Amino acid sequence: MKHKPVIRKVRSEAERKICAKLMAGSDPWITLGITNEMILRTLKDPLHETFIVLIDDQIVGTFVLQEKGAFTGYLKSIAVKKEWQGHNLGELMMAFIEERFFSSGTNVFLCVSSFNKKAQKFYKKLGYQEVGVLTDYVAKGYDEILMRKTKGPVLKK
């Protein structure tokens, strides 16, 4: 990489649309039948924070975080442009996410589609463990594997 990647929150509707297009044009969203419009609704939800990864002012990755809800510290979505995969951007994004969530809590949660073996291997390499399976969660016929990386229980003695 010539220039250092920059991670920041989405600042405009135009950036949000680029993020939605990036996700909608790749798996698991294609296989699950999740459309660009559905993703845009998620990115506009005030419970979610959307971030981008920029290299030379080009959006090369995106991720969506949810800090409140059933699982505090939930990575809702993550995507890297196809031509930027294999450049350690996933590791960079996950380090950012973990630093953010672990600064105020003890867990990071995410779901990965059962058919997405490459992503499962990636998360396991980073120390995530399977904690459950959500059958037909997003779409009929496809399970989501709930994974967690933890620094300990939520309640401290």
Asked if residues 23 and 79 have their Cβ atoms less than 8 Å apart, the reply is: yes
Mean pLDDT of 128-157: 93
Q: pTM of this prediction?
A: 0.93
State the pLDDT confidence band at 152, using cuts at 50, 70 and 90: confident
Any domain includes 1: no
| Tens-place pLDDT, residues 38-79 | 999 999 999 999 999 999 999 999 999 998 877 789 999 999
Token pair recorded at residue 47: 């419970």
pLDDT at residue 2 is higher than 70: no
Residue 157 confidence (pLDDT)? 67
Helix (H) or strand (E) holding 12: none
Any domain includes 86: yes
CATH of the domain at 134: 3.40.630.30
Any domain includes 123: yes
| Tens-place pLDDT, residues 4-30 | 999 999 999 999 999 999 999 999 999
Number of domains forming the structure of the chain: 1
Dist CA 27 CA 45 (whole Å): 22
Any domain includes 70: yes
Token pair recorded at residue 44: 């506009």
| Tens-place pLDDT, residues 68-124 | 877 789 999 999 999 999 999 999 999 999 999 999 999 999 999 999 999 999 999
Domain span at 124: 6-150
Any domain includes 155: no
Residue 156 confidence (pLDDT)? 75
Any domain includes 156: no
Asked if residues 76 and 48 have their Cβ atoms less than 8 Å apart, the reply is: yes
Q: Could you tell me which residues are beta bridge partners of residue 129?
A: 148
Any domain includes 78: yes
Asked if residues 119 and 112 have their Cβ atoms less than 8 Å apart, the reply is: yes
Q: For residue 12, how far is the Cα from the chain centroid?
A: 19
Which residues are CB-contacts of 134 (< 8 A; sequence separation ≥ 6)? Answer: 111, 143, 144, 145, 146
Q: Is the dihedral of CA 111, 7, 59, 119 positive or negative?
A: negative
